[in-house]
Structures are given as structure tokens and as C-alpha cells.
């Protein structure tokens, strides 16, 4: 529950952060929804409820990021390719959550529209069911005219797959029968995230210290931040020290 003072405190914190350099691109591995559900105070709750709480955390954190002038790109790891190996009911619940809530998020007067945020789906679209893909493509169309910031949703994604795909495209685009030298610039232009700047900060929640095949190409010079908080509990209080550390 919000106290009367929380909006004031939030404005003060965001104003203080705005004094220093602001990261242009933040990446987030949203980890801990299932552990949050299993360890919920008072007893376990359904895993689907944990994922819903994680989506609500995304809205809250995204809004805080968008209030920091200069931060133009947020990229989140929503669903890895290897997550398709999870329990079938859990996968279906996650996909249904994405299908329903992302469309709502892009609706007139909602968060993406208010802040003029463009949503891009990053990943292997062919691995998604027709209904989920249709919903995500609808959101992309709804927000394609938004210009202030970009939210990249990585779903059915793996960085190793992204890089392998980029190499394949570079080879296919070569007109020489012997091929040509592939440069870093060539590969960069073929990445799924080629439209976004390099990542400045990569955050992973839930006290897990690994990158899990996420944005390996884009995080060459990123500052890595690991927090013990489960993703559904991550908010402005956790974001502030991360940005302050970046500003040092």
C-alpha cells in the first residue's frame, strides 16, 4: 500500500538521480518469480500469481526508468528459448500473461502510450504459438509510432542464437563466392537488437550471478549488478543504488 509520502519520496529520489549521468540502456534479467511464489509470506501461492506479480513489477520499474531523462531503452529477459522445457502448464500461463497484459499495457492512456514507448519483440517468433505471436505483433503495431523510448521484450530468445543467426545472415549476404571477411560492424548490423544502443547496466535479480545467455554481444562494456531481491519485489528502492553506483 502506498503511503501519502511515497510519491514525494519517489520524486526526490528521481530528481537526485537526474543530477548525474543517466544510463541510456538498462537490461534486466527478471529472475525469481517462481521462488517468490514458493516463499510467499503466509504460505506458497500459485506460480502463475508469481509471474503476474513479476509483470506488475515490470510496469513499476519501467515507469521509474522512463522518468529518468536520458534513459531511452529498457530490455527485459521475459522468456528464454530453453524455458520451453518447463512444465507445460507454466509455459502456457506465462504466454497467456504476455498475450493479455502487453496489449493492455499498450492501450490508449496506458503506460506505453503515456510515455510514448515503442515495444519491440526480440526473439525467435516462429517458436511462439499463433495467438501469442498475433498479440505481440499487435502491440508492436500499436506502438510503432512512439518515439521517446523503447521497451525490448526478449521472448523465445537466447544470445547465442542471436549471434549464430547474425553470422548466418552475414554469410548469406556475401556476394563473393569465396565469401568476405566478416567484421564486428557486419555482425552488429545483423543482431536482433541492432536498433538499440549498447547496454550500460545489466541487472539480475534473485541473487543469481550468471548471465544465462542474455545480451552477451550488447553487454561487452556493461556494468553488472546482482541483487538478492526476487523480481516481484524489485522496485525504485533497489534501482536507486544501482544507478548511483553507475554514476560514480
pLDDT tens track for 47-76: 999 999 999 999 999 999 999 989 999 999
Instruction: Tell me the pLDDT band of 179, cut-offs 50, 70 and 90.
Output: low
For the chain, the average pLDDT equals 94
State yes or no: is 200 an active-site residue.
no
For residue 113, give the nearest of 138, 137, 145, 136 by alpha carbon: 145
- What are the domain boundaries of the chain? 22-247
Q: Count the neighbouring beta carbons within 10 Å of the beta carbon of residue 127.
A: 14
Which of 31, 89, 131, 200 is labelled catalytic? 31
Rounded to two decimals, the pTM is 0.93
Confidence of residue 177 (pLDDT cuts 50, 70, 90): low
Domain covering 22-247 assigned CATH 3.40.1180.10 in the classification:
yes
Closest CA to 111 of 183, 160, 170, 63: 63
Amino acid at each position: 500500500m502506498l503511503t501519502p509520502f511515497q510519491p514525494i519520496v519517489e520524486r526526490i529520489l528521481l530528481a537526485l538521480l537526474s543530477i548525474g549521468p543517466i544510463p541510456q540502456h538498462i537490461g534486466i534479467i527478471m529472475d525469481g518469480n517462481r521462488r517468490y511464489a514458493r516463499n510467499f509470506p503466509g504460505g506458497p501461492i500459485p506460480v502463475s500469481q508469481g509471474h503476474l506479480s513479476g509483470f506488475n513489477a515490470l510496469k513499476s520499474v519501467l515507469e521509474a526508468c522512463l522518468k529518468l531523462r536520458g534513459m531511452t531503452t529498457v530490455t527485459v529477459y521475459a522468456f528464454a528459448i530453453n524455458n520451453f522445457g518447463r512444465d507445460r502448464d507454466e509455459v502456457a500461463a506465462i504466454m497467456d500473461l504476455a498475450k493479455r497484459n502487453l496489449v493492455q499495457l499498450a492501450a490508449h492512456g496506458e503506460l506505453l502510450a503515456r510515455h510514448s514507448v515503442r515495444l519491440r519483440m526480440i526473439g525467435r517468433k516462429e517458436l511462439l504459438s499463433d495467438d501469442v505471436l498475433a498479440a505481440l505483433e499487435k502491440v508492436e503495431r500499436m506502438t510503432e509510432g512512439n518515439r521517446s523510448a523503447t521497451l525490448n521484450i526478449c521472448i523465445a530468445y537466447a544470445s547465442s542464437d542471436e549471434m549464430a543467426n547474425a553470422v548466418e545472415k552475414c554469410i548469406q549476404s556475401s556476394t563473393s563466392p569465396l565469401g568476405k571477411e566478416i567484421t564486428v560492424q557486419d555482425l552488429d548490423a545483423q543482431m536482433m537488437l541492432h536498433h538499440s544502443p549498447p547496454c550500460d547496466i545489466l541487472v539480475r535479480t534473485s541473487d543469481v550471478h550468471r548471465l544465462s545467455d542474455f545480451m552477451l554481444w550488447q553487454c561487452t562494456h556493461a556494468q553488472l549488478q546482482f541483487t538478492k531481491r526476487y523480481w516481484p519485489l524489485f522496485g525504485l528502492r533497489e534501482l536507486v543504488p544501482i544507478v548511483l553506483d553507475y554514476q560514480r
